[in-house]
Homo-oligomer: A and B are copies of this chain.
Amino acid sequence: MGGIGLRPVSIIGIGSTPFSKLEGKGPIDLAVEASVQALGDAEIHPKKIEALYLGNFTSGILTGQETLGPLVANRLGMRAIPAIKTEGACSSATLAFREGVLAVANGVHELVLTVGVEKMTSASTSKVTAALASALDQSKEGSCGLTFPGVFAMMARRHMHEFGTTREQIAMVSIKNRKNGVKNPLAQFRAEVTMEKILGAKPVTEPFVLYDCCPISDGAAAAIICPTEMARKLSAKAISILACEVAIGNASIDMMSDMVSFPATVEAAKKAFSTAGLSTKDVNFVELHDCFTIAEIVDSEDLGFFEKGKGGLALEKGLTQIDGKLPINPSGGLLSKGHPVGATGLGQIYEVCKQLRGEHPNQLDNPKVGLAHNLGGTGAVCTITILSRNL
């Protein structure tokens, strides 16, 4: 089937908490805060919402709280609707978004609230590391003690070996995204970092130092979906959803044929561009899943914006800067904004909407089409969303 469904759909309201250490707020509080903001943005009463999809990854392990769908819906005053949690590691939020998009695009519901949430900073770092590692196959990577910094560091070394990508190019991802984050009021890190500081920092996992890794964060982000026809009547700032596609890849690294690409991204991109009827040339800017510096380079290639192996060079040439040909992570990305894992995907969608609405702290010049790329696990699952201004 071509297109997103039977009818076009739009985002009519968005909301986001800051991504940071948010003391005294649990996952329910955070999800409610982002949802209330989105409902206010759309000027929609909670009782008009016909279904809630909530993305979350680690709440069971880190806070002992599951069943967040009904709990958040209750707190918002919603009654008797479906409220469903989706999980797919760091792609959990966009899986919720995707289910909401399908439900509205195919006439099941008229107004759906999607929200992603994560509360991470109240647990110890070792517990957070273990919780994140639950996205790896416990019988494989898990049993040999491998966690995410190790997986991505291996990818970095392989990318350097295979394509001559330099340590400096990899560091430039952090420098660019930290710089972009300075102006973003939602970002966890709002200070620039220099090449000197990165190259002189203590290693975390060779070749990574702390500046190559996104932080541990709390946060929530929300988006309300409705038919585009309804959106046109209700709002002047609604954003069209041109595609939202999901593809699984390899959920454990022993299944990867190489360490320089995520097939999940390649496949989801193929589907998303086909659904939207667009190509990479039509995209004006990208928010992508830079959980580690190398990820931005790999993702930018897997998405088809640069030839495989050329992502580092593109960065060095400045092509992905805010004033470049294809700005990547003008929000500051996960490296600067933070990475509340089950909220991140909707956080990216929030940032893309802000740009398309002309309301972004790092506003680009009149962007028409933006793409959000959200990855779970070691490329276990990828969601790609393509958005444009409503015309």
- Is there contact, CB below 8 Å, between A106 and B102? yes
- Tell me, rounded to whole Å, the shortest Cβ–Cβ distance linking A73 to chain B: 5
CB-CB under 8 A from A247, the residues of chain B are 80-82
CB-CB under 8 A from A86, the residues of chain B are 84-87
CB-CB under 8 A from A106, the residues of chain B are 5-6, 102, 106-108
Interface residues of A (CB under 8 A from B): 1, 5-6, 26, 28, 57-58, 60-61, 63-67, 69-71, 73-74, 78-89, 95, 98-99, 102-103, 106-108, 130-131, 133-139, 142, 246-252, 255, 263-264, 267-268, 376-377, 380-381
- Tell me, rounded to whole Å, the shortest Cβ–Cβ distance linking A167 to chain B: 31
**Chain B minimum-CB-distance residue to A66:** B134
- Is there contact, CB below 8 Å, between B102 and A251? no
**Chain B minimum-CB-distance residue to A68:** B87
**Chain B minimum-CB-distance residue to A109:** B1
CB-CB under 8 A from A99, the residues of chain B are 84, 99
Complex partner residue of A64 from B1, B6, B85, B134, CB under 8 angstroms? B134
- Bound-state CA distance A267–B70 (Å) is 14
- Is there contact, CB below 8 Å, between A74 and B251? yes
- Bound-state CA distance A66–B57 (Å) is 8
**Chain B minimum-CB-distance residue to A263:** B80
- Bound-state CA distance A83–B85 (Å) is 14
CB-CB under 8 A from A250, the residues of chain B are 74
CB-CB under 8 A from A138, the residues of chain B are 26, 63-65
- Tell me, rounded to whole Å, the shortest Cβ–Cβ distance linking A275 to chain B: 11
